[in-house]
Structures are given as structure tokens and as C-alpha cells.
Chains A and B, each alone.
Chain A
Amino acid sequence: MGVTVLKSGLLTTVQDLGRHGYQRAGIIVSGAMDSLSFRLANLLVGNEILAAGLEVTLIGPTLRFEVDSIIAICGGNFTPTINNEEIPLNKPIFVRKGDQLKFGTLQYGSRCYIAFKGGILIDQVLGSRSTCLPANFGGIKGRALQKGDKLPLIDFSYKHSYKLSWSLSSYFDSLLFNNEPIRFLKGRQYYLFNDESIRLFQTTSYSLSNESNRMGFRMEGASLHLSNQQELLTEGVAFGTVQVPANGQPIILMADRQTTGGYPKIAQVISVDLPRLAQLKPGDSIDFSEVSIFEAQNLALKRENELKALQKIILAKWKEVEL
């Protein structure tokens, strides 16, 4: 066995990078809300890209290790401790059998990710270990973790606990936690909105509503309306699609979004800004600013290259470590 859940936290789920290839059957993609922090945590412990970890939301769980493991925590800072001693984020940490991982005060962010070296060893369902909460499958019994759940891990039974020398630079935190506007592409129905709505969307702030979850972030602010009210045919939607139902308050579709939707799309949040968006809390303010698809893809390619370069360096470091 690996880890026993002593306290569940608010919403702790097993996630990976999502269940791709089955949207045609209506199957929701799921996966980590902040895929950047999720990937960084996996990179730090030397995991492959498909390894599953935990997504922690607003209130952290308490976990007891039943094996020796190596973990890394990235994303929001929930003041993590091991046996009541504070541990750093963004760096690999040796954990011994019997150790307890707890979380304290939320200092910033809203989600953090725990990667375990070797990943969480549960079966894949349709090619992914992500928990699909809306349809109750994947992860641990298709639901958030509960007290008493057990997560199987590799037992490293190592002889020496190394002080591992590497940790992430503050560059990645600066990408995740800043007050810059959220950048977007024009949505497919952008020009169906009236001029006033487009102006308001571009120039006023929205606040993230309490009724936000892994499916969608509801926003409160200026009401947006079409020039001519009309019923649209259902069509594909993506992570980050900003759609506007009849009440005029935009909703940003997140990791557990449905595969298709019928509301007009005013915008699409660009992929490099989705992790930052996912770290916002209800009540936080959001401004939007437009970029082109060319710019958005350039930013995505640059981010990907940075992560690949980082992965090379970390894997080389792991080669020098003898467990």
C-alpha cells in the first residue's frame, strides 16, 4: 500500500492530464485544472507525463504514508507540513513510512498538486486515471477522496534520505500568481454580441462567483447580450471557452466541462493563462485582454519548450541519485 487518507480535505481528487479521445461519446476530458503546476510536480519527482497525482482544493487533506516515497507539491501554498514541520513547495521531498502530510493555512492560490514518485498506481479507465466527477468513474471510485481511502504507491524503501539540491526557480510562481489580465481569443460568436457588450467584456472587471467548480467558472459583472437574441445549435466547446447564457453572465468552461454546448461563445481563454485562472478563488477579480491565435500558439510553444528543457535537466539530476 502507499498512502492512507486520514482527512479528505474539501475536494481532493486523483487527476492526470485528462481523458482524451472519447469526447465523441460525450465523455468529459477532466484532468488537472492547473496543468502547469501538475506537470511541474511530476517533473520534480522524475515521473513520466502520464503519471497520476492529487489535486487539492482550498482545504488540504491529511495523508499517512505506509511506504517510503518521494513527493513534490506545486501550485497554491497551503502551508504543507510533514510531522508538523513545514516543508517547501516546488522541490522533491523524501517521505518515510509513518510520516503524516498535513496542510495548514491557505496563503495564496486555490489548488495545489501532490506528485508521488512513480505515480498513483490505480487502473486507467479509458486511457486515464483522472476522476470524472460528473459521471462518477476513474480515480478512486469515481469520487473525491474520503477518509480511509488508500492510494497505492511504489515503495522505495530507500536507505538514505538525500537532501536533494534542486528546486524550481520563482519564475513559475510568477507565471501563476500575478494580476495581469487573462488573455483570450475571439470566440466563434464574438461578432454576434452587441458593441456595448464587447466593449464591457474588454474593459470592465469580472469577479469569480461562489458557484464555480471544476466544470465551470461563473463570473459576475457586466451583462453581455447578442445584437439579436437567437437560439444556436449545439457545437463543440473546449477548456477555456467563455460562453454566455441568456442571463448575460459569462461562464468559463473548465476541466470537467461538457463536450458540447449551445450558448454563444464570446471568447476562448488562451492555454498558457488557464493554470493562472484555475488558481483564482471565488471573489477574485478578472480582467480580459485580447490576443491573436498566432500569438497564443507562440506562447504555448514557448511554454512547452521551457517545460521540456526543464524536464531534461531534472531527469539528468535524478540519474545521479541512488536510492
Chain B
Amino acid sequence: MQDFIIHPLSEDAVLIHFGHKNQNIKVQNAINQIESFPFWGLRELVPAYHTLTVYYDPFIVNGSFPFEKVKGHLENILKENDTTSVFNNRFIEIPVCYEIEFAPDLEELANSNNLTVEEAIHIHSSVIYDVRFIGFSPGFPFLEGLNEKLHFPRKTVPRLKVHQGSVGIAGKQTGIYSLDSPGGWQIIGRTPIKLFNINIKNESPTLLKAGDKVKFHPISQKDFYLWKE
């Protein structure tokens, strides 16, 4: 049975919707299936929590109605319920300094959730998170697995500048700002390591990718400043 819906996003993209809850395993399976049997004109795949966006070139796909053709291709490719995907599951430890200088919102978050700052740090750094996808900005990981005790809504007024490396919480999500950018996530720490580096030749410019497992490792301010990659 078909358990997804294909919507046109634009003239050169469709968005496959896999249900209302987090369906990340289905998204990862779909990526594997489409990459194993790519159709002519496929451009790129952009995964998110419960959706997969498929970009294509409508002039290469050809025919009078490329959307219908691509929809047909995808229904064919995805009709087998492939659950055999093997993930690479790299494990990466990320050093984070949770001290006040780098964690402007940690105290408020801890207080609101009836925790001490130390408890909040301990909870945040003792879980192994799954990188669901990279989005928003180059190398920004959307992580799943945040303990309920740390769930906290976004700031009502976003900051104009969040420093690169800032570790944030938004609702039940946690993530890391890969670049200086505006943002509304609650900031609870900062990592000295770079999540995005365009100058590394012949390597992926991003530290993390979907499927990776991540754990945060608390470090002192001194370690932060002395950190060498």
C-alpha cells in the first residue's frame, strides 16, 4: 500500500510526504531507493523530518507534463517497501562549553524547567542524538533525541545574530548554528569546532550528515579557547 503523498513544490521539484509524525526511517529508505534507481532528469534530494524534496530538470524529464511523469517514476521506485537500508552510523563527539558567556539562555531554560544549570548540562550531554538532516544553513544539523526535561519554545523575538558554533534548543529539537546568522533558538552553549568549512579540498564541506550519531562533551572555557581541530 502506498503510504506517501507526492505534491508539486515548484515546476522543478516535488515534495514526498510520509505522514504526520516523524517518519525519518522512511525518508532515509526513499533516498536509498531513489539513488539506486535514479530517473533521467533527477537533480538532487533534500531530506527533512517527514518529507523528501526531489529536484528534477523538467526540460530533461521531457514530455508535456513533467510533474506527472516524475510522480509516476517515484511511485514506481518507492512501491517496494524497502526496509533493508543500512546506515553508516558514524559516531561523533562534539565538545561544548556550557559556561554563561556562551550560554545566554541556559539559566532561564533550566529555571523554567525546574532544573539546576548543572542538571540541564548533564541531561543535554548524556544523550546520543541522531542527525536527522542538514538544513537551514550550510552544515546545520537537526538533531533528534532531546530529553523532554529540556524542551523549551523558541525565543519570541529572534536574535539578529547568533554566533557560529552556538548550540540551541527549539521546542523538542536541538541543533548547532553552523554560521553566524539570525536565529530564534535558545542558546545553551557553544562548540569550538567548525561544522562548515568550504576550504577543505576534496572533502565534504560539512562535518555532519544525515544518519550520524552525535554526543555532546562538556568542556571548560579554557579548553574552548585552546581547542585545536
Q: Which residue of B lies closest to A246 (CB)?
A: B156
Q: Quick one: CB contact mask for A212-252 with B, threshold 8 Å, 1 for yes?
A: 00000000000000000001011111111100000000000
On chain B, the residues within 8 Å of A259 by CB distance are 46, 135-136
22 residue pairs bridging A and B, Cβ less than 8 Å apart: A21-B43, A21-B44, A23-B46, A24-B133, A25-B209, A26-B137, A26-B138, A26-B140, A26-B178, A134-B179, A135-B196, A137-B198, A188-B7, A233-B22, A235-B15, A236-B48, A258-B135, A260-B136, A294-B65, A294-B67, A300-B11, A301-B66
On chain B, the residues within 8 Å of A233 by CB distance are 22, 48-51
Interface residues on B, range: 35 or more
B220 at interface, CB cutoff 8 A: no
B47 at interface, CB cutoff 8 A: yes
Nearest CB on A from B51, distance (A): 4
- Return the 5 tightest CB-CB contacts between A and B, nearest first: A236-B53, A260-B135, A238-B10, A235-B51, A293-B8
Chain B CB within 10 Å, residue with most, of A22, A236, A238: A236
Q: Residues on A close to B: CB < 8 A?
A: 20-28, 125-126, 134-135, 137, 185, 188, 231, 233-241, 258-260, 268, 270-271, 293-294, 296-298, 300-301, 304
Contact B51 A236 (CB under 8 A): yes
Contact B47 A24 (CB under 8 A): yes
For chains A and B in complex, what number of residue pairs have CB atoms within 8 angstroms? 130
On chain A, the residues within 8 Å of B15 by CB distance are 188, 235-236
Q: How far is the CA of A300 from the CA of B66 in the complex (A)?
A: 11
Contact A125 B134 (CB under 8 A): no
Contact A135 B10 (CB under 8 A): no
Q: Which residue of A lies closest to B209 (CB)?
A: A25
Specify which of B7, B11, B49 is in contact with A297 (CB 8 Å cutoff): B11
Specify which of B22, B46, B58, B66 is in contact with A24 (CB 8 Å cutoff): B46
Specify which of B11, B13, B49, B198 is in contact with A234 (CB 8 Å cutoff): B49
Contact B44 A23 (CB under 8 A): yes
Nearest CB on B from A117, distance (A): 25
Q: In chain B between 26 and 70, which residues have their CB closer than 8 angstroms to a CB of chain A?
A: 43-53, 55, 58-59, 64-67
Q: How far is the CA of A134 from the CA of B164 in the complex (A)?
A: 12
Q: How far is the CA of A62 from the CA of B66 in the complex (A)?
A: 43
Q: How far is the CA of A237 from the CA of B55 in the complex (A)?
A: 11
B100 at interface, CB cutoff 8 A: no
Q: A24-B134, A25-B134, A260-B48 are in contact. Are A238 and B9 (CB under 8 A)?
A: yes
On chain B, the residues within 8 Å of A236 by CB distance are 9, 13, 15, 46, 48, 51-53
On chain A, the residues within 8 Å of B11 by CB distance are 270-271, 293, 296-297, 300
Contact A301 B46 (CB under 8 A): no
Q: In chain B between 138 and 190, which residues have their CB closer than 8 angstroms to a CB of chain A?
A: 138-140, 142, 171, 178-179, 181
Q: A293-B67, A296-B11 are in contact. Are A135 and B44 (CB under 8 A)?
A: no
Contact B198 A268 (CB under 8 A): no
Nearest CB on B from A317, distance (A): 24
Contact B135 A20 (CB under 8 A): no
Specify which of A24, A234, A296 is in contact with B45 (CB 8 Å cutoff): A24
Contact A27 B205 (CB under 8 A): yes
Q: Which residue of B lies closest to A234 (CB)?
A: B48
Q: How far is the CA of A313 from the CA of B68 in the complex (A)?
A: 32
Q: How far is the CA of A298 from the CA of B139 in the complex (A)?
A: 36
Nearest CB on B from A127, distance (A): 11
B221 at interface, CB cutoff 8 A: no
